């Protein structure tokens, strides 16, 4: 029996109850009160595997962002466990991206940041991504232009502008992650931003922001002037 157990003979979907806790069976969100390890136990129905995953990666976010081979190497997880973790990550990404498609990412910075942090914040390599927006500032698509090593990546401004023109995008949001955990921009980050802004201006494409994402922080070029 999983931690979402039957209570007083009522089936699990009807009356959620978390075993071993003081949470009321009538709590509308009992799962929200669990720590990461207990929630993984619920999802995987495997307390030992949940413990190994948390010990190896520290959090659900870091676990789901990890490469399958790395999960197996560090925890000896089964193919079924790895597949379940990747399904969970993909569902989360689709939820956050759906929020961006429904709202303007320029005026809804919270939704934008949530999507970027889920997708890139826990990556162990640096990635450079551009979000392309239409004339109403709604997301057309996002595209990863470069995947680098732990601390370096290569991006060509002309490729960013070429893709924007192909999509008939009216504006863009730039993002990249810092696996080191430090969110402050480097000199190279600043220079690259200037180059992309200058190139975009020639074609009438606005650059709304450049956001640097880490596991727990972010840096917005726009917010910092």
Print the SS3 string covering 18-83.
ECCCCCCCCCCCHHHHCCHHHHHHHHHCCHHHHHHHHHHHCCHHHHHHCCHHHHHHHHCCCHHHHH
- Quote the CA–CA distance of 189 and 177 in Å, as a whole number: 11
Q: pLDDT for 150-186, tens place per residue?
A: 566 677 889 999 999 999 999 999 999 888 878 888 8
Q: Does residue 29 or residue 20 have the better pLDDT?
A: 29
CB 77 within 8 A of CB 86: no
Tell me what pLDDT residue 18 has: 46
Q: pLDDT for 31-48, tens place per residue?
A: 777 888 888 888 888 888
Q: Does residue 206 or residue 8 have the better pLDDT?
A: 206
Tell me what pLDDT residue 166 has: 92
- Quote the CA–CA distance of 177 and 126 in Å, as a whole number: 6
Tell me what pLDDT residue 121 has: 72
Task: Look at residue 193 and tell me whether its pLDDT is greater than 70.
Answer: yes
- Quote the CA–CA distance of 194 and 89 in Å, as a whole number: 33
- Quote the CA–CA distance of 119 and 111 in Å, as a whole number: 12
- Quote the CA–CA distance of 88 and 82 in Å, as a whole number: 10
- The arrangement of strands across the sheet holding 206-213 comes to 139-147, 127-133, 171-177, 206-213, 218-220
Q: pLDDT for 100-148, tens place per residue?
A: 555 544 556 777 777 787 777 777 788 898 999 988 888 888 888 888 7
Task: Look at residue 11 and tell me whether its pLDDT is greater than 60.
Answer: no
Tell me what pLDDT residue 4 has: 43
Tell me what pLDDT residue 7 has: 34
Most confident of 90-94, 110-114, 206-210: 206-210
**Nearest by Cα to 178 from 206, 200, 149:** 149
Q: Find the DSSP H helices in the chain.
A: 36-44, 47-57, 60-65, 68-75, 79-102, 109-120, 157-166, 187-202
Tell me what pLDDT residue 17 has: 44
3-state DSSP call for residue 214? coil
Tell me what pLDDT residue 151 has: 62
Q: How far is CA 212 from CA 101, 127, 141, in A?
A: 21, 10, 19
């Amino acid at each position: 029996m999983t931690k979402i157990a039957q209570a007083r003979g009522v089936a699990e979907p009807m009356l959620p109850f978390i075993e071993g806790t003081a949470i009321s069976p009538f709590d509308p969100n009992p799962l929200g009160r669990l720590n990461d390890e207990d929630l993984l136990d619920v999802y995987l129905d495997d307390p030992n595997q949940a413990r190994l995953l948390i010990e190896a990666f520290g959090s659900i976010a870091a676990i789901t962002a990890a490469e399958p081979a790395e999960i197996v190497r560090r925890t000896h997880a089964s193919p079924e466990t790895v597949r379940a973790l990747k399904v969970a990550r993909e569902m989360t990404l689709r939820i956050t991206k759906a929020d961006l498609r429904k709202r303007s990412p320029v005026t809804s910075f919270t939704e934008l940041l949530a999507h970027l942090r889920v997708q890139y914040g826990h990556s162990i390599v640096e990635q450079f991504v551009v979000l392309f927006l239409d004339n109403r500032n709604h997301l057309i698509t996002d595209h990863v232009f470069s995947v680098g090593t732990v601390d370096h990546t290569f991006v060509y401004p002309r490729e960013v502008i070429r893709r924007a023109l192909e999509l008939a995008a009216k504006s863009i949001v730039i993002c990249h992650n810092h696996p080191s955990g430090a969110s402050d921009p480097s000199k190279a980050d600043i220079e690259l931003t200037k180059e992309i802004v200058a190139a975009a201006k020639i074609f009438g494409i606005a650059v709304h922001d450049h956001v640097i994402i880490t596991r727990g922080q972010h840096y917005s070029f726009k917010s910092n002037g």
